[in-house]
Structure 1
């Protein structure tokens, strides 16, 4: 990967973060999809994409992104809590319990 492309990905990440903070999560998700495709192992990019999906009530993609993040970083308490809440929003509370318990054990808010 060239340095120029890396800077473009970083710029897109920052742009998506700005859109999310401005209350436009759907636009942030649109920007982040190609970033995560280009850097599928980047946990920060995956987390921002999951936050954008969750914030725009795109619950199935949020769940998929959060499950990937939990697989990559099982001790990420924030990801566990967010996955639990995403499952709850889909009326899947029984599946959420294990993630809430893990988030509690990890000290996540």
Structure 2
């Protein structure tokens, strides 16, 4: 696959994920993964497609790969936190969301996600 074809496939997969068509995005990403599987942007998009298709363990693995490349990627921490939340692993989710908020404190969506986790944990413990 040429570099231009890889970029085109990646952009198409991004569009499909944004339109909530994750299974099509995963198919579109297959040739990209053959060439660029070690790029954080590819793993992040892969994780999002897995997340939206409810393949949560695969999403978790993709987000963890992104964090292996760059532990300071606050969006990957948010996505990992949301993935862990959907798996019912609230304490682990809270840890990731706390890190995301610490890294990017001006993002209201991060604070909102952390507040939601804290509320769920409080409700479970009462």
State TM-score, norm by structure 1. 0.87
**Count of residue correspondences:** 106
Which digits, 9 at most, give the CA deviation of each residue in 1:8-45, with x for residues without a partner? 11111011112122221111122223312321221111
Q: Do the aligned residues in 1 keep the contact of 2:40 with 2:65 (CA within 8 Å)? A: no
Query: 1:57 Cα deviation (Å)?
Result: 1.3
Radius of gyration: which is bigger?
2
Judged with a 3 Å threshold, the aligned counterparts in structure 2 of structure 1 residues 34 and 64 are, in CA distance, closer, same or farther, namely farther
Structure 1, unaligned stretches of length 5 or more?
none
Point out which structure has higher relative CO (alpha carbons under 8 A, 6+ apart): 1
Structure 1 stretches of 4+ moved >2 Å: none
Secondary structure, counterpart of 2:2 in structure 1: helix
Q: Given that residues 9 and 35 in structure 1 are in contact (C-alpha distance below 8 angstroms), is that contact kept between their aligned partners in structure 2?
A: yes
Normalising by structure 2, report the TM-score: 0.76
CA distance in structure 1 between the aligned counterparts of 2:95 and 2:33, rounded to whole angstroms: 27
CA contact (8 A) 2:47 2:58 kept: yes
RMSD of aligned Cα (Å): 1.5
Matches within 5 A, 1:84-99: 84-99=81-96
Distance in 1, matches of 2:35 and 2:67, equals 19
- Is 1:9 aligned to 2:6, yes or no? yes
Aligned 8 A contact 1:36 1:42 in 2 = no
1:23 and 1:69 mapped to 2: Cα distance? 21
Q: Deviations over 1:73-109 (max 9, x none)?
A: 1111110011011011011112222211110111153
